[in-house]
Chains A and B, each alone.
Chain A
């Protein structure tokens, strides 16, 4: 038991060391750091979605909206009504969880594409609300003046401090997600994915576990939402639309379904790629599309599967030599 915990802690620690070393490795280039900060925020959502889709087998095209609900809530609470930051952030995450609970209860009875449609519909309704409730959200042009994050006397006003804040959060979320999947709850989730009937006949309350993981993934999206709002100090509806939901699913699948590590890799890859394609101007979108097609065609298990195949190949080569 202890050794399995160790086997899990070691890679997470190594990962965190990498996080700590990254700014030095990038020689404190704030442009690259800002890209990675954004990728980290998105990776938090993707990990939640990975638990939901990769482990429990339930799709959601509404996570961009959940992310947005949290971001707008903390924005409105802190900037419009002047509540303290902690209150704003807690209400952002809290409201997201409550919305997920209320929406999830009826909607998670649906399966497959029907569930995709229902969550998509939810996402679009929220998106339209962000656009039209101008008095509250500022409408299509966005919401400005969200205060910067500070705790005690420390203000997260530098690119570097926010990078550490975000990626520390990523590490914590990764750790508790790994804990979850190696527990009776994780097994129950994988069981209901593999066979709904068999899971029920083991006494697993399938509906409750689906709801649990949906709400937990919403909480992750909520955490990402508050980090996002206070990072950019500006939010606009266009960040929380259908496109972003599809992109999140793409990150999960490209990274490797049911691999939390793969999800992080997929997120960083798909977030950073457009930045590097900027040089190609008009060709940018086309190249992005083509890379996506090729990756999915030739990495059927995603990036995580590709890496483990590579490791196996290298081992075989070394073994032969």
Chain B
């Protein structure tokens, strides 16, 4: 389906007719989901709607049963996760996946992996390329830690940080990879109101200051309505609406889906 991705040059991520089946269960049915460059695009829906599954399909953690995923102008439907990240689509995780055994700075320096490169021999024998690369690595990591506002002891093992700060750390790590599109999987889960407000500001700054496109899966409606340029709503694995926040808020089908969930 190249004609569809060819039409809009500024569509940075395009999922076309994606189906995912787990055993006998259809997790996603015929899902179209586009993200335009320079936007913050949200994916919402009641519990079990398939939001995270779609994010997994985009990031390569789950392979779609049918359909296509175009990322950054390439067909990456069958590409492994690391290749998508190499291409510039970097994600965070709903259940934090910080590298607990490494310290805070090292976590973020690992994010720089795709940006600053030097070979194994340089590492083993400490050639000048190693020293240059490491200096650059550290600078970029410190820059991103400062960007997300993570102060304190960066030599602390990441596992010892409080939950909210681990979230920030994960964000810094993802930003250190200098993505073109950042995929956030429920970044506000487990955060209090104040932390969520800070997060909203950060997400906007990621788009405005760093020029990174953001696709976000989230539960917190206030956060979503506040930051998103476009919203797609999933319900039982199907897209039931897409549009601006104002349009979505008025959409009767969306309201029904959410009311239905509250009635349960």
A183–B116 CA distance with the chains assembled, in angstroms? 11
Tell me, yes or no, whether B98 is within 8 Å of chain A by CB: yes
Contact A176 B59 (CB under 8 A): no
Interface centre among A187, A198, A202 (most CB of B within 10 A): A202
> Within the complex, what minimum Cβ distance (angstroms) separates B217 from chain A?
14
How many inter-chain residue pairs (CB < 8 Å) link A and B?
106
Stretch at the interface among B13-21, B99-107, B143-151, B206-214: B99-107
Candidates B93, B117, B131, B134; contact of A197 at CB < 8 Å: B93
Residues of B with C-beta under 8 A to A193: 101
Residues of B with C-beta under 8 A to A188: 110, 113
Interface centre among B93, B113, B130 (most CB of A within 10 A): B113
Contact A184 B102 (CB under 8 A): no
Candidates B90, B99, B137, B177; contact of A184 at CB < 8 Å: B137
Contact A202 B102 (CB under 8 A): no
Tell me, yes or no, whether B111 is within 8 Å of chain A by CB: yes
Interface of chain B, main secondary structure = helix
A55's nearest neighbour on chain B, judged by CB, is B101
Residues of B with C-beta under 8 A to A179: 123-126, 130
Contact A197 B81 (CB under 8 A): yes
> Within the complex, what minimum Cβ distance (angstroms) separates B42 from chain A?
20
Residues of B with C-beta under 8 A to A201: 59, 61, 81-82, 85, 90-91, 93, 174
Contact B100 A194 (CB under 8 A): yes
Q: Which residues of A (178-231) have their CB < 8 Å from a CB of B?
A: 179-180, 183-188, 190-191, 193-195, 197-206, 212
Contact B90 A202 (CB under 8 A): yes
Contact A187 B101, CB 8 Å, known A1-B135, A176-B125: no
B86's nearest neighbour on chain A, judged by CB, is A203
Tell me, yes or no, whether A3 is within 8 Å of chain B by CB: no
Tell me, yes or no, whether B120 is within 8 Å of chain A by CB: yes
Contact B118 A200 (CB under 8 A): no
Tell me, yes or no, whether A5 is within 8 Å of chain B by CB: yes
Tell me, yes or no, whether B97 is within 8 Å of chain A by CB: yes
A202–B135 CA distance with the chains assembled, in angstroms? 19
Contact B102 A190 (CB under 8 A): yes
When each residue 86-98 of chain B gets 1 if its CB lies under 8 Å from chain A and 0 otherwise, what string results? Answer: 1000110100011
Contact A203 B90 (CB under 8 A): yes
List 4 additional A-B contacts (Cβ < 8 Å) besides A184-B116, A203-B90: A176-B125, A185-B120, A202-B85, A202-B113
